[in-house]
Amino acid sequence: MKIQHESRNGKIYYLHALPGKNDKPKYHFSTRADGPLADQVPDGYEIYENISGQVFLRRKTPQLITDEELALVNANLQRETRDHFYQAEVKKKFIIIYEASNHSPMLKSIALSWINPDAIRKAALLATSFMAVLRFLLVEPEKRLFIAERYCFRGSVEDWIDIGCRPAPLPKVLKKYLPHLGKESMYELY
């Protein structure tokens, strides 16, 4: 069976295997189903989908953040969602929170009355782009302690800044910082 992956925005990506140097195949994903397709993911590699829905083949990396920790972040994001969409992604020792404006109310106001509100919300989510706003850094892997950082959008800085968080268990850090998402108070944290 040929390898394919459906991204979060509904596109189907196909894994291609092209001849490379020294008879080693070169792999890449494409939305086109024509050409030489791979039957399996090569050893030591995994399918990775970034926050924008693009699909890549990448080397497997050690998983420093547990699935349970990511699930905890996602569950808390569901509770804190207001007028924005949020997505969480793990990158090495970080859990990064991405934000996008929720255009659902505007779409609902111009949509026909029989269109399902959930369909409008899903369409808005698929058409939006995300920006990183908050991240949690695993600083003490043995004790599973995290600190929080926020993205600074000042022209002279534009980088992650420490927001004065002492290392703490993830539930405590989430409780303290997730309520600031989508609010002006986020930019007062430093």
Question: β-strands 84-91, 55-59: how paired?
Answer: unpaired
Highest mean pLDDT among 48-57, 82-91, 105-114: 48-57
Q: Please, are residues 82 and 182 in contact by the beta-carbon 8 Å criterion?
A: yes
Long-range contacts of 14-17 (CB under 8 A, 24+ apart): 15/41, 15/47, 15/57
Which among 26, 43, 44 has a CA at the least distance from the CA of 35? Answer: 26
Do the beta carbons of residue 118 and residue 90 sit within 8 Å? no
At a CB cut-off of 8 Å and minimum separation 6, what does 76 contact? 174, 175, 178
Residue 154: pLDDT band (50, 70, 90) is confident
Q: Distances in Å between the alpha carbon of 3 and those of 8, 27, 46, 110, 149?
A: 17, 11, 12, 39, 37
The domain ranges of the chain are 4-59, 67-188
- For residue 121, pLDDT over 70 is answered with no
Share of the chain above pLDDT 90, in %: 48
Q: Name which residue leads in pLDDT, 157 or 77.
A: 77
Please give the pLDDT value at position 29. 93
DSSP bridge pairs for 173: none
Q: pTM for the complete prediction?
A: 0.78
List CB contacts of 90: < 8 A, sequence separation 6 or more: 63, 65, 70, 96
pLDDT confidence of residue 113: 64
Sign of the torsion angle spanned by Cα atoms 81, 84, 87, 92: negative
The pLDDT of residue 152 is above 90 = no
